[in-house]
Every structure is written in C-alpha cells, then in structure tokens.
Structure 1
C-alpha cells in the first residue's frame, strides 16, 4: 500500500484487506474513471448549466488540457489547492483536472470569507486558489490577495474571470508578494502523459460544517469516494437516462457523491448545475431538462412545495427526491410524494463518510419516519449512551460509525481526532439516534454542545 499522506489517519490493514476483498475498493482514481466514462458515453450530455451543454468527450478533453495547464503554471503533485467556485461547469472541470495533475482540491463553500479561507490555506499549506474574481458583489480576488500577502504558501490564484487588464506575459499577473494571478480559462495546454497515481491516496478534502470554530478538513480517498458514489447510484438504480439537478452547493457531499454529480457521471447521466436553489428557477429547470432526481434540504423542499401552485411547473419527470441535512417533518414528507408524484428518499450523512438512506422499495411508513439503513453492508453502526455502552433498539443514544468510506481521522488534527474517534476507529457523529426493530435509524437531534458536522444536506 502507498504510504498515506502525512497528517492523515489510515485505515488499519485488516480493514483495508476486508474492503478490497469485498470489492468495495477497486484501485481506480476518480480522474481515471472519468476517462472511462468519456470513452463509454462520449457524445452524451454530461453537464448542463444555463444554455451550456457539455458532452462527456468534451468534459474529459477540457480536464486533460486544464490539468496540463495547471502543471505548466507550476503546480506539483501532492500540493493543495483551495477550490471556491459556485455550481458551474468550471467547478467539475477544475476538481477533476487538479486530481489528474496530482494536486489535491480543498473544497471551500462560496460564502466562506477570509477567516475560513486563510485557515484552510494555513492548515493545508495550499499553494493555489481557484475562485471567481468577484461573485454576488464580493471581491474574492482582493480577499485572496490579502491572504497571500500575509503568508508564505499561497502563490497561484486562478480566477474564473480575468481580474484586470490583459497581462503582457500570457495572461498571468503578479503582485508584490510574488503571488501570480491567472485566468482559469487560459489553462489550456496539450495533454501530457498520465501520472501514475494510487487510488488509496487522498483525492480531495471536504470540510466539516456547522462548527462555531474553524472547520476541520476531511481527507477522502479515490477508493472510498468512488465506492460511496457507485454504491449510492446502485441503490437508487441510477442509469444513463437519469438527469440529476445539483441544487445544493456542489461542495456538499450529498450533492457531489450520494450519488450526486459523481454517481450520475459514473452511469452516463446528465448533471444540471444550478447556482440558485430558489423554487421558481429550479422547478422550471426540472420541467425543461426533464430532471429525474435531485437532493435538497428540508427547508428548500418546503419552499418548493409552497411555490408549486404559483410556478405550476410540470414535475412529472421526477422519480426521486432525496432529503437530508435536518429532520424532515412527517407532514412535509407526505406532501412530497403526493404533490410531486415521485418517491421520497430520506437520509442522514456526513462529509466524513457515514451515510444512511431509505430504500426505494421501503414501505411508506419507513420512508416517512426514518433516515433508513447504512449504505454499505460493511458499515458498522453503534448507538451508545454517555458511558459508551450500546443501548437497546428503540433507545436513544449517540450514533457511532465506521466503514469503507468513513474516514478514520481529520487532517492534521490530532487533538480533535482524540475527541472525535473512539480508540477502535468509530467516528463519534454527535447525532442522537435510535434504531427501530427492523434496523432503520431515526435521527432525532444533536448531543448538547456538539456542533453538527457536514450533514448530507
């Protein structure tokens, strides 16, 4: 096995052997999987954004040429790059291109500002940043320039729009701190020979969320994330005829790989990217693009339900709506199936990996009132009391989890890891849950004083 990235906690060898033997881990990197998808589904539509439609073949070519551009700009394998982009095709292209170049994307929500972004740069020693020049009135370039001037790491800033006048040297400008500013669209170079990469290494970093303090970094490997997206796609019978609406921010695990963007691309479906989850825009998109599956938070679902009489969009293409991130009132859950004529899937998940979902064939009572069962047969779930002892079914307690796609530690956070993981590797989710007699989980809230991690919605 390839040595693990410094600062990451590996799975113990016995678990590595178990997950390989079960076929969960298959040894292919996410960017290399994209090559196979492009060969298989080349002329099919992969990404839709506004009037832009991108085929699988074109997506893979852009990833190839952007990866070569990243390398020409000075990025080296193993270096970290903060990616702070909205739901636009450039986000998908950038993430896969960085992985193909051997660099490690660090997903960063667009609303994050200097305190969070500088924290990510400092902890990961990120040498690069990819983001909009300005977005919704905020100057991202000025924010990043200030961060670069205050630290020794950040020296490459790739902007979605050129941040000023044309440069006399190939579109690149530099500031007094030595930080270079490069239009993202200028990263276009002939593809180089593919790097030899290991699928047991980190593919990218997700962030914990909801904490009052700085977010923790969650290292997800190619093996574990490819398995999660594939298993989630299989669970909902995703096919090349499906159209997934990415209404949640793409850096949210639920939207990126549950099955989300990665799972949809893995079967040849189309991903519709939307920056505004507002009901008028999204409901019209569902009608226009014949969307079959989407994932939203309960609050967004309620907004959509309330707007449907006014918008009056045709939602007959929808077959499945995934809900996660917070408890869903049973009355709201019942309305989704009745008013949208589609199946509801409830779930609980975290960017750290653990994911429970109801099944499409579950009875209505299970779908309306539980968060389902673990995604993987090798997910290990415990519900424990304050002393760490397992409680009987039906009794509430803290949900603990470990498995083939649940990390064993946060990045460069030994003190936090000591609090967040048991000695035998279970993640302490901080979620209060109980298990029903038929094995489904009902997540009822949070332990007192435990901030929520990155939930599935």
Structure 2
C-alpha cells in the first residue's frame, strides 16, 4: 500500500478475502466487465451527449495511455477539480487504471484549499476546467503551482493553453492504446476529502477492494437494476454521488447515470422527465427546493421510485412530506467519506424510515455507541458513534498524530457524532461532538472560519457556531469582539473571500459582544453562544 497510508491488519484483511467481501476487483475491472456485459447500453448522459459502456471503457484506456505519455506514473498523485461532466468519470477510471492516485477536489475550492491538498498529497499533477461559473481556473492553477513545490504538470479541460496539457491532447497521445496491467486491488484507488473538524480537509485513502465492495452493497440495498436511471444531483466528487451507490453502483448494475449541472429543480425536473430518472440522492437543503418546486412544476416525476436524503438532520415533519409530494420512496442515509454507510431498507416500517438513518449496508460493519467512560451503551443510550469494517478507513493519509486520537486502540474510527441505536438496531444521529457546521451539505470547521475572521485588523476575538436554518440545515453564525470599528457583515465576507477560500465558508450572521463567554476551564462557552443566538432569533 502507498506509503503514508494505514492498512487493515493482515489477519482482518485475510478474513475479508476468505469471506468473499474483498474479491480483488479494481475500478478498472468494474468498468471493463460492464463494457463486456452491457456494451452499447448507455452508461452516461450529459446534456445531449450519450456515452455507452463500451465507449467509456475505450475512453478510459486512451486517457490512461495519455497520462502515461505525459509523464504520470503509478503511485503519482494528481488533484482533479472538475464539475459534473463525463470527462471527470473517464479521467477517474483512466487514472485508476494507470495506478495514479486521484485526489478529489470540489469546483468551489480556491487557493487555500488547493495548496493544502497539493502539499499534503505531494501531487505532481493538477487538472482543472478552463473556467467554471465565471471563474478562470487556469489562473487559479498557476497560482497553486507557484505556491507549492511538487507540481510538475498542469492539465486543462478546454482549449489548449500555454503551460497546460489539454485533455484533448491526452486522448490522442497514443493512437491505439493497449490495456495496462490492473493495479493491486488492495492498493489505494483515490483519495476522498474529510469533512474536517480541523482547519482544512484530511485525505481519506480508499482502496479498490473497499470501495467496490461498498458501492456494490449500497446498490444491492437500493435494489438497483439495469433499467434504473440515476441522476447525479450533487457534485460527483462527493462520496454520496460517486459511490453510495452513485455512479459506481449504477455501473455495477448496468444502469444509466445522468449528470446534472446544478441541483436546482428547474434544471433537474426536466432531466427526470426526459430520461425517466428512477433514483437520485441529495442533502436536505436541496430537497427543500425540490419540494417547493414540485408543488407547481408541470414536469412528470412519476418515474422516480427512490430518493436518498442525508447529510444533515431532518425533522419528522419534513420527512413526512417527501413521498406524498414527489411520489418516490424516501431512504434516509447516514454516511461519511471515511466509510460507514447506513440506509433504510425497502421493507422497513414507515416510522423507522421517517425517524432513523437505518442500518449498516454490510453485515461486516461493526457499530458501537460509547458512553463518556468509553464503554458500549445499550439501545437508547446516547453517546459517540464508533465504527470499523471492510470499507471504513484505518487511518487518514500522512497524519499519524491525528490518527492516534481518531481511532481506538482496536481500530474503531471515532466519528465524533452523537448517536443512539433503537431496539431494532436502527441508527439515529443526535448531534455532533466535533465542532463542525453542516451548511447545505457542506461541512465547515468552525475553527477555520474563526482563524480567518481573526485576520481582520478590527477583530479581536471570534467564535463561530452553527445555528438552525430551515433551508440550509445550519447557518454560520459568528460572535465577535471588535478591536476597533465594528465591520459590517458584507465587509467581513469580502475580507474572508479575498483570502481565497470557498464561498460556502463565509459567515451568514454576525453578533458583536463586549467579550466572549467562557467556561470554568477558560474555554469559549459555545453552549452559551447558542442560547444567545436562539434568543436573538426568537426576538
């Protein structure tokens, strides 16, 4: 396994193989087998483009050969930042066939996040779109290369640009590429990003073995079949959209994946009607938009049979609206890029579907709820959710000190989530131990926003919390102590944005206080701030 990664213990890995959980399949063999079985069936749809399984397979081979021709080797890391386009899918499969390690990046990331990802991964390549939503990503790539030491090659999806290798050049570099040897299935296929409670994301190594198994189990629980059409509403760099079951689960079962440019129902509802979409996945804030739009929309949504919703807590009043309005069965999901997935099942009682996040997708998943003393709690007890299993990581990449805190001595991952189990074994998430704000499905570390606010010359102290919001799930609320004139919210947003961070990390609300409340231990009392925010909201 790649240096800097933490492998599963040898005896546990051997057991997973003996039990047929890990079968030695790589992402490349998944696509190769799908091309053999389904041939000219449509694998991907984007706009007017329709790409068959056989075409996608050949495309991935050309890209793998093209990357190799331009110096990329097995084991090299490459950061890829693309929107929902077919090229992302072909590039991902091409890189994994080469044995290069793709580092997923969101289109919203800017210099701060991207420099961090390059430095942490030691990436030698960085691939960007020419532009996206009015932002010139080529200029961003140049800035990232100037501020890092490992980048050797910049790649661009778009017109040929000086200093960049275009994706078109990769596709034609080797006229008749031969299939490359498949990498070891136990090796890292790619890196997902943590939601993070520290300032910037950590890298999550996902192996071929664990990810193919996870996606297959997710597809089985969702009962995906050849006639299913999956709509990728979320960015396909998200674990949820890529493999839960997402695109990979769709390919495992011979269905069709449709890529949406935005999650807006005005864009997505016509896709549902045109392509007969049967399955999709989203976060609650997007579902809110869909429910509102469905009340007046004229599009035919009758083909939808399953809608997965996860990423933030939902009230029963909210979940009760989904099936009557959309006509599709709700499946609540709890998941993390680190591994564990829990889904409702098709035959679950209605009450469980409306109020719980279901059960793990694999019988080999181990889930415990620990009390403050570290001992497992019985059903109904609220404590920290810890887990281990055949697709949950054993350690983040290149952060050994953090890993010692994030895992128990026997390998259970400390999720930082407060949860309980029902008598029937269903998981219910009650909150979070870690100070993470989930805004519209994006996870934001409060500490990162605090540090950014403190760079403003007129801010003496800062504390950030999440406050409930019907649309976004949570909003970012900043409590500040001014060291001079009190900057307006718009000025603070502009100052933070100017430091090159993603827009979703900007504060939504600001309150100025003479001083921040402290606990008896001298730490900022965020419970007191939450009470203050609630009273302000009520007032």
Task: Confirm or deny a common fold (TM above 0.5).
Answer: yes
Q: Deviations over 1:101-125 (max 9, x none)?
A: 1111000011011111111111111
Where does residue 336 of structure 2 map in the other structure? 350
1:54 aligns with 2:40: no
Distance verdict in 2 for CA 1:84–1:202, change over 3 Å:
same
TM-score of the superposed pair, with normalisation by structure 2: 0.79
**Matched residue pairs, number?**
439
Unmatched tracts of structure 2, length 5 or more? 444-472, 474-539
1:226 aligns with 2:212: yes
1:405 aligns with 2:391: yes
Select the residue among 74, 89, 97 that pairs with 1:92: 89
1:333 aligns with 2:319: yes
Select the residue among 104, 110, 118 that pairs with 2:101: 104
Q: Deviations over 1:335-386 (max 9, x none)?
A: 1111222211001000000111110111101100000001110100000112
Q: Deviations over 1:44-91 (max 9, x none)?
A: 000000111100011111111111111101101110000111111011
Where does residue 136 of structure 1 map in the other structure? 133
Contact preservation (8 Å) 2:295, 2:325: no
Deviation of 1:451 (Å): 6.5
- Secondary structure of the 2:230 match is strand
1:43 aligns with 2:40: yes
Where does residue 170 of structure 2 map in the other structure? 187
Select the residue among 255, 267, 274 that pairs with 2:260: 274
Alignment of 1:259-270 (within 5 A): 259-270=245-256
Identify which of structures 1 and 2 has the higher relative contact order when contacts are C-alpha pairs closer than 8 Å and 6+ apart. 1
Between the aligned partners of 1:342 and 1:445, the Cα distance in structure 2 is 27
Deviation of 1:416 (Å): 1.3
Where does residue 73 of structure 2 map in the other structure? 76
Where does residue 206 of structure 1 map in the other structure? 192
Where does residue 11 of structure 2 map in the other structure? 14
- Secondary structure of the 1:315 match is coil
Contact preservation (8 Å) 1:210, 1:454: no
Contact preservation (8 Å) 1:210, 1:451: no
Deviation of 1:151 (Å): 2.7
1:114 aligns with 2:100: no
Between the aligned partners of 1:212 and 1:27, the Cα distance in structure 2 is 34
TM-align CA RMSD: 1.6
Between the aligned partners of 1:233 and 1:201, the Cα distance in structure 2 is 23
Between the aligned partners of 1:352 and 1:37, the Cα distance in structure 2 is 26
Between the aligned partners of 1:356 and 1:454, the Cα distance in structure 2 is 19
Between the aligned partners of 1:21 and 1:235, the Cα distance in structure 2 is 23
Deviation of 1:219 (Å): 0.1
Q: Deviations over 1:380-401 (max 9, x none)?
A: 0000112211112101111000
Between the aligned partners of 1:434 and 1:163, the Cα distance in structure 2 is 54
- Secondary structure of the 2:277 match is coil
Where does residue 371 of structure 2 map in the other structure? 385
Distance verdict in 2 for CA 1:94–1:196, change over 3 Å:
closer
